[in-house]
Chain A
Amino acid sequence: SQQGEEDPQALSIQEGENATMNCSYKTSINNLQWYRQNSGRGLVHLILIRSNEREKHSGRLRVTLDTSKKSSSLLITASRAADTASYFCATDDWPGTYKYIFGTGTRLKVLA
């Protein structure tokens, strides 16, 4: 499968610190999305950034996109224990298919 890659695979930080996760992908995209997953079950959508955007903010989240490098980063500021989860990026492999391709995820642990 053509999954993207997130790095790091795992990240452990103290509460209050910032967490940065990176995502690289392989295809042209229309948009890129970040999701959070707790306990290996349903995913929660966090933020969407379109291919013509370079940066987007939502609360404590900041996402950047560099289409020339086929990469994106997710920054969580002032992390909380409740942010502990796995984080995935997903791209829409545009044009031509309807697949959303997910990366392998970053497992974030925020220590109280």
Chain B
Amino acid sequence: GAGVSQTPSNKVTEKGKYVELRCDPISGHTALYWYRQSLGQGPEFLIYFQGTGAADDSGLPNDRFFAVRPEGSVSTLKIQRTERGDSAVYLCASSLLGPGEGDTQYFGPGTRLTVL
């Protein structure tokens, strides 16, 4: 595709519910990143995929958060038992090679998650 796309653009849910956020990276990009951004803050790293595998998931805040990338392209971030503190913009980015190669990350427009 032309760029990174994320769906939905906005998601409102109730506390305790389960949500899935989807990211479609740029075709051919092997690296995929998820970030979370709270108001007035910079993006906070959550997880990085190289191909199908999670190379670094140390940013996931707790075991309610999980992400997959089964075929090495589309990724889904899953949040169980949502809490009000999970409200944020969730950003996805992809790059051709990955960290250490110094290549550019291309960001999607983000999904704004609101937990009531």
Q: What is the size category of the interface that chain B forms with chain A? A: 20 to 34
B109 contacts A by Cβ under 8 Å: yes
Q: With an 8 A cutoff between CB atoms, is A43 at the interface?
A: yes
Interface size class of A (residues with CB under 8 A): 20 to 34
The reply on A60 being an interface residue by CB < 8 A is no
| B65 CB–A CB distance under 8 Å | no
B102 and A50 within 8 A (CB): yes
Q: Among residues 95 to 114 in chain B, which have CB atoms less than 8 Å away from a CB atom of chain A?
A: 98-100, 102, 104-110
B42: A residues at CB distance < 8 A: 3, 88, 90, 102-105
| Contacting residues, chain A, for B41 (C-beta < 8 A) | 3, 104-105
- Chain B interface: which of A13-21, A76-84, A93-101? A93-101
- Considering the chains assembled together, what is the distance between the CA atoms of A102 and B44 in angstroms? 7
B35-80 residues with Cβ-Cβ distance < 8 A to A are 35, 37, 39-45, 48, 50, 55-56, 58-59
**Distance between Cα atoms of A99 and B44 in the complex (Å):** 9
Q: Any chain B CB within 8 A of the CB of A40?
A: yes
Chain B residue, CB-CB nearest to A101? B45
Q: For the complex, is A41 an interface residue (Cβ under 8 Å from B)?
A: yes
Q: Mark A22-47, 1 if CB is under 8 A from B, else 0.
A: 00000000110101000011111100
In the assembled complex, the CB of A84 is this many whole angstroms from the nearest CB of chain B, namely: 16
B102 to chain A: which residues have CB within 8 Å? Answer: 30-31, 48, 50
Residues of chain B within 8 A (CB-CB) of A88 are: 42-43
Q: Is the CB of B107 within 8 A of A97?
A: no
Q: Which residues of B lie under 8 Å from residue A45 when comparing CB positions?
A: 104-107
For B99, what are the chain A residues with a Cβ–Cβ distance below 8 Å? 30, 92, 94, 98-100
Given contacts A42-B107, A43-B91, contact A97 B44 (CB under 8 A): no
Q: Provide 9 A-B residue pairs closer than 8 Å at the C-beta atoms, listed in order of the A residue.
A: A3-B42, A35-B107, A43-B91, A90-B43, A92-B99, A98-B48, A98-B56, A99-B58, A100-B45
Listed from nearest, the 10 A-B pairs whose CB atoms lie closest are: A102-B42, A98-B56, A43-B107, A42-B109, A42-B107, A99-B45, A98-B48, A31-B102, A45-B104, A102-B43
